[in-house]
């Protein structure tokens, strides 16, 4: 018969709490006291010049960050106007700004991103500055590059896409050993497929790069995503209850939470 620790407890501490003890049960949930605005964090997102889907994910994530109370800005080096990747430049839904730049290389883009971060007000829930990085520019990275401290890679669960993402991660961590490399899986048929895909790349990154990547959830390739791309309307506003919007919101929440915790 199990022996009750209460039998011997008097050797070690006080007796059972009285029912009216002030600390007897848990405190009720309280809302967080008003917090100071936090400086926005820069998130580099490697996106090719014609990669409309990843650009759409990024812009929609920025809108979701704003919906969650954060400050959001998208910076993209684009030398054609209007860009085929993005909606109209300037302030958009919920104040999310899309700011094209004429940066010609990673160094000038890094400088622009740093200045934007320094000038941004930040939000009570933090803020994020998404910066599109042309993938070829990654090779010019350096240890102190602000754009590489935190990056977000979108990949499907296909082996070829995971290999591409691993190559991109390699290019990043070779230049910046402490980089936080985030992975968001898109296009999976079910959550388990996304989990497996993330586990594969996490394992390969540790084995081949000696570096741990971080999970930033999954996104769905729903019809709403493609309609939103064509209509240039954020999914979270056009179809807020859609699975695509929920997934974007979840990823945005993960990003904001980590942004508030700061970079390692």
Please, which residues bridge with residue 150 across strands?
Answer: 180
Q: Least CB distance from residue 74 to other proteins, whole Å?
A: 23
Contacts with other proteins by CB under 8 A lie at 2-6, 8-9, 11-17, 21, 23-30, 188-196, 198-199, 202-203, 206, 212-218, 220, 222, 242-243, 246-247, 250, 253-254, 257, 261
Measured from the CB atom, the residue of 140 and 238 that comes closer to other proteins is: 238
Distance CA 224, CA 203 (A): 32
Sign of CA dihedral 245, 247, 248, 249: positive
Distance CA 116, CA 217 (A): 27
Q: Least CB distance from residue 199 to other proteins, whole Å?
A: 5
Q: Least CB distance from residue 27 to other proteins, whole Å?
A: 5
Measured from the CB atom, the residue of 187 and 234 that comes closer to other proteins is: 187
Measured from the CB atom, the residue of 28 and 121 that comes closer to other proteins is: 28
Measured from the CB atom, the residue of 167 and 206 that comes closer to other proteins is: 206
Question: Exposed e or buried b for every residue in 86-123, given b needs 16+ CB within 10 A?
Answer: bbebeebbeebbbbbbebeebeebbebbeebbeebebb
Q: Least CB distance from residue 214 to other proteins, whole Å?
A: 6
> Reduced to 3 states, what is the DSSP secondary structure of residue 4?
coil
Measured from the CB atom, the residue of 77 and 217 that comes closer to other proteins is: 217
Q: Rg of the chain over CA atoms, in angstroms?
A: 22
Q: Least CB distance from residue 140 to other proteins, whole Å?
A: 27
């Amino acid at each position: 018969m199990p022996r009750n620790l209460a039998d011997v407890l008097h050797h070690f501490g006080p007796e059972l709490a009285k029912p009216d003890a002030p600390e007897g049960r848990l405190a009720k949930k309280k809302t967080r006291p008003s917090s100071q605005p936090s400086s926005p964090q820069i998130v580099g997102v490697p996106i090719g010049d014609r990669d409309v889907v990843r650009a759409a994910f990024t812009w929609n994530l920025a809108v979701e960050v704003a919906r969650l109370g954060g400050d959001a800005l998208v910076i993209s080096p684009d030398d054609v106007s209007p860009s085929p990747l993005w909606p109209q430049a300037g302030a958009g839904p919920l104040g999310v700004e899309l700011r094209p730049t004429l940066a010609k290389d990673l160094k000038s883009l890094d400088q622009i991103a740093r200045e934007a971060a320094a000038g941004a007000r930040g939000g009570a829930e933090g803020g994020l500055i998404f910066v599109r990085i042309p993938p070829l520019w990654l090779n010019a990275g350096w240890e102190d590059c602000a754009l590489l401290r935190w990056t977000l890679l979108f990949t499907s669960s296909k082996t070829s896409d995971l290999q591409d993402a691993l190559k991109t991660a390699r290019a990043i961590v070779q230049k910046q050993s402490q980089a936080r490399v985030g992975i968001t899986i898109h296009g999976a048929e079910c959550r388990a497929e996304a989990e497996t895909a993330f586990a594969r790349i996490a394992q390969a990154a540790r084995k081949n790069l000696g570096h741990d990547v971080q999970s930033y959830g999954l996104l769905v390739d729903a019809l709403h995503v493609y309609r939103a791309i064509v209509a240039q309307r954020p999914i979270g506003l056009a179809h807020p209850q859609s699975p695509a919007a929920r997934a974007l919101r979840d990823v945005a929440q993960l990003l904001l939470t980590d942004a508030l915790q700061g970079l390692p």
